[in-house]
């Protein structure tokens, strides 16, 4: 449940960073995207493992 709540937070934060300054904002945006990707892949792997467990049982 938690990753989906975090998505709007990251997008608004990165948009704000892009508005504020040039170089730093790009780094922040990349960091936010990396973090978001990591969270999404974690959520996906958890989902896949739980669905595998359901299929097995």
Q: Is residue 53 scored above 70 in pLDDT?
A: yes
Q: Is 0.85 topped by the overall pTM?
A: no
Round the CA-based radius of gyration of the chain to a whole number and report it.
Answer: 15
Q: Is residue 19 scored above 50 in pLDDT?
A: yes
Distance CA 41, CA 36 (A): 9
Q: What is the reported pLDDT for 38?
A: 93
Q: What is the reported pLDDT for 1?
A: 46
> pLDDT by residue (tens digit) across 21-52?
566 667 778 888 999 999 999 999 999 998 88
């Amino acid at each position: 449940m938690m990753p989906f709540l975090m998505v709007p937070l990251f997008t608004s934060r990165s948009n704000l960073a892009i508005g504020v300054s040039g170089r730093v904002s790009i780094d922040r945006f990349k960091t936010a995207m990396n973090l978001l990707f990591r969270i999404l892949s974690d959520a996906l792997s958890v989902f896949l493992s739980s669905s595998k467990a359901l299929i097995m049982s």
